[in-house]
Structure 1
Amino acid sequence: MRTLIRYGYVPFMLLGVNGAGIAVIAGGGSKVWLLGLLLVAIACSFAAERVLPYRAEWNTSHGDDRRDVVHAAVNETLTLASVAVLPVLTAVASVEGVWPGHWPFALQVLAAVLVADLGITLVHLASHKLPALWRLHAVHHSVRRSYGFNGLMKHPVHQTLETAAGVAPLVVLGLPVDVASALALCVAVQLLLQHSNVDYRVGPLLAVVALNQAHRFHHLRWAGVGDVNFGLFTLLWDHLLGTYSYDPERRFTSDDLGMAAEPDYPDGYLAQLVKPFR
């Protein structure tokens, strides 16, 4: 079972869960099925973390489990709301006839993933350079363990900014709602994988796909050290920007995570909401 998870967990999530979502939407199925697939992905994430943890102590609550559930619920609700208003946005801002609607549906989703990845990566990079954005993004870097739900732990204002940067070019291109719905599932699954406490292996893909082995370096607590590996879906932009970093010998503990400059960052949800504005 451990070997199956080590080498099969990532393909199951990326190809199985995402693929099922794409197939459902392409076949005209209800988008409610995507919520079910997201719940399956979350359940599989927690199960895999317990069978094959990177660090067993990261499976134990650090007083953050309820807070992280609230973060996830709020931010996924915002994602659903953004998909719901997409028809209005595309009606106002899109350039007619640009979106490649004649492509196979899976290729349309892949194109949306790559475009969104660039916008989100650039905002993520800017959030480490501009103080106003960093104050919002710091919520995400206050974690003291790395597990699946960390990916959904963001200040809602920062999540909105990242989403806007990723989706705005797609809106101009005329992104269909069905593609946006599949993209939303892909984002959620990617965040679960990227912050996962599963000791999985992906071989040479670790230098291309933005997964947990590389993303742990992004959460290093020492000032300036974590300014690497900003990509959400891929590390291609990090290679181009010179921000890619990876050391196969490095192992992480809770002492490596968080923010050295703010060791007493508030833990509560409401306190984290107001912290950037104080």
Structure 2
Amino acid sequence: MELENHPRVNSIEMRSSGGILRYLAFPAIVIFVLATSYFSYAPSKEQLLTPLIFFAVFGIAFALERAYPFMPAWNGNWRANRQDGIFFLIAQPVLAIAEALALSLGVSLATHLSSSFAHTLWPTSAHIALQVILALLVHDFLPYWYHRLSHQSSGWLWHIHAIHHAPTRMYSLNFVRFHPINSFVSSFLMLLPLVALGVPGPVIFMVAIIGKTHSMLSHTNFDFRLGPLNWIFSMAELHRWHHARDMRLANANYAATMIFWDILFGTRHLPQEDIRQTELGIVNQASVPKSLWDQLCLRRPQSLR
């Protein structure tokens, strides 16, 4: 049976249709985030601006997936989403520690590098747009390899990362469902090279905000359509395949924000099939315990020890 004539797909399409909003939502949100972070930035306001922008985007994402769910069953309810909310709360102090350590070590490295080369390595005189694009590429590089190694490992790296892939549905709060070790390492690797290279504060702030926004939207249960932008961003149309249960599909699209490193290293993959006809999650669901405490303690079922 042709996919477009499949009754289940047609039923889902009718319920998930967002019309032209499917094409405009992502660029509009990105423009809003970039403009807000650029025109409002000040070092003294950073601690206030970050949560304000984050919760504004989360409110938009939540409204989109409730009004026009890509897959209605993925939204769940409060009881089903509660564990992800706890992961979000746990992540905040972990991220703060990772960023503080990355900042401290990065400043030391920046001082050493600038004295070694007699000038800063970052093109601070370049246009702000070019600096943001370059910084996003730097921001994604080390986490790309950490993420890729986590998938290619059959040991503890995958055991830690599998917590993020265990859910069989995707919605906006999924993006914070990471073990604290995973959150710490990714955040540290994102920020350290930016500080070490001497990237200006406003650029780092814009990159951090767009990174968090992109991560949330790439998991949001709304039918984002990017068209040619799928060759620039690692957004929902690509990232949903990364959560497929079939690891031949999931071991691709590792980049956090821009898809550049996946293109360069041959790991970008966007099948023609409909992801709604593919199961999400991991092959061995029993390898990730249901209990939040057991997940945090990285306990493995007795049969897998």
Question: What TM-score, normalized by structure 1, do the two folds share?
Answer: 0.89
The CA RMSD measured in Å over matched residues stands at 2.4
Q: Secondary structure at the match of 1:138?
A: helix
Counterpart of 1:129 (choices 133, 136, 152) is 152
Describe the shift of the 1:4–1:78 C-alpha distance in structure 2 as closer, same or farther (beyond 3 A): farther
The structural deviation recorded for 1:83 is 4.1
Structure with the higher fraction of residues in helix conformation: 2
Question: Contact 1:139–1:272 at 8 Å: present in 2 too?
Answer: yes
**217, 223, 226: which is aligned to 2:250?**
226
- Confirm or deny that 1:101 pairs with 2:120: no
Checking the alignment, whether the CA contact within 8 Å between 2:18 and 2:223 is kept in structure 1 is no
Q: Which residue of 2 aligns with 1:182?
A: 206
> 1:270, CA displacement in angstroms?
2.0
Q: Say if 1:276 and 1:10 are closer, same or farther in 2 by CA, change over 3 A.
A: farther
Aligned position for 2:290: 267
Q: What is the aligned counterpart of 2:31 among 9, 15, 39?
A: 15
* 1:120–1:231 Cα contact (<8 Å) kept: yes
Q: Which amino acid aligns with 1:36?
A: L
- The offset of 1:38, in angstroms, is 0.6
Q: Which residue in the other structure is 1:153 paired with?
A: 177
8 Å CA contact retained: 1:137, 1:158: yes
Tell me how far apart the structure 2 counterparts of residues 13 and 76 of structure 1 sit (CA, whole Å): 23
Post-superposition offset of 1:182 = 2.6
Deviation at 1:84, TM superposition (A): 4.5
Contact kept? 1:109, 1:182, Cα under 8 Å: yes
Aligned to 1:275, what secondary structure does the other structure show? coil
1:74 aligns with 2:90: yes
Offset of 1:80 from its aligned partner?
Answer: 3.9
Asked whether the 8 Å contact 1:99–1:174 carries over to 2, the reply is yes
> Do the aligned partners of 1:49 and 1:198 also contact (CA within 8 Å) in 2?
yes
Letter in structure 2 aligned against 1:5: L
What code does the residue aligned with 2:199 have?
L
Alignment partners' CA distance in 2, 1:22 and 1:70: 31
Task: Report the Cα distance in structure 2 between the residues aligned to 1:161 and 1:120, rounded to whole angstroms.
Answer: 8
Kindly state the Cα deviation for residue 28 of structure 1 after the two structures are TM-superposed: 6.3
Asked if the contact 1:83–1:181 (Cα under 8 Å) also holds between the matched residues in 2, the reply is no
Rounded to whole Å, the distance in 2 between the matches of 1:103 and 1:224 is 41
Percent identity over paired residues: 26
Instruction: Specify the SS of the correspondent of 1:78.
Output: helix
Taking a change above 3 Å as real, the CA distance of residues 23 and 248 of structure 1, as seen in their structure-2 partners, is farther
Distance 1:78 1:60 in 2: 27
Deviates more, 1:74-83 or 1:113-122: 74-83
Structure 1 residues 149-158 or 237-246, which shifts more?
Answer: 237-246
Amino acid at match of 1:163: S
Which of 239, 247, 250 is 1:215 aligned to?
239
CA offset at residue 250 of structure 1? 1.9
User: Which amino acid in 1 is paired with 2:289?
Assistant: P
C-alpha separation in 2, matches of 1:228 and 1:41: 26
Q: What is the TM-score of this pair, normalised by structure 2?
A: 0.81
Matched, 1:204 2:228: yes
- Once residues 267 and 75 of structure 1 are traced to their aligned partners in structure 2, the CA distance between those partners, rounded to angstroms, is 19
1:137 touches 1:154 (CA, 8 Å); kept in 2? yes
Query: For 2:222 and 2:44, how far apart are their aligned partners in 1?
Result: 32
Aligned match of 1:42? 58
Paired residue secondary structure (1:256)? coil
Q: Any idea what SS the aligned residue of 2:74 has?
A: helix
> 2: CA distance between counterparts of 1:251 and 1:86?
37
In structure 2, C-alpha distance between the alignment counterparts of 1:20 and 1:275, rounded to whole Å: 39
Q: 1:68–1:150: 8 Å Cα contact kept in structure 2?
A: yes
Matched, 1:141 2:165: yes
The verdict on how the C-alpha distance between 1:171 and 1:226 changes in structure 2, with shifts beyond 3 A counting, is same
Which one is further off, 37-46 or 107-116? 107-116
Mean Cα deviation higher: 135-144 or 4-13: 4-13
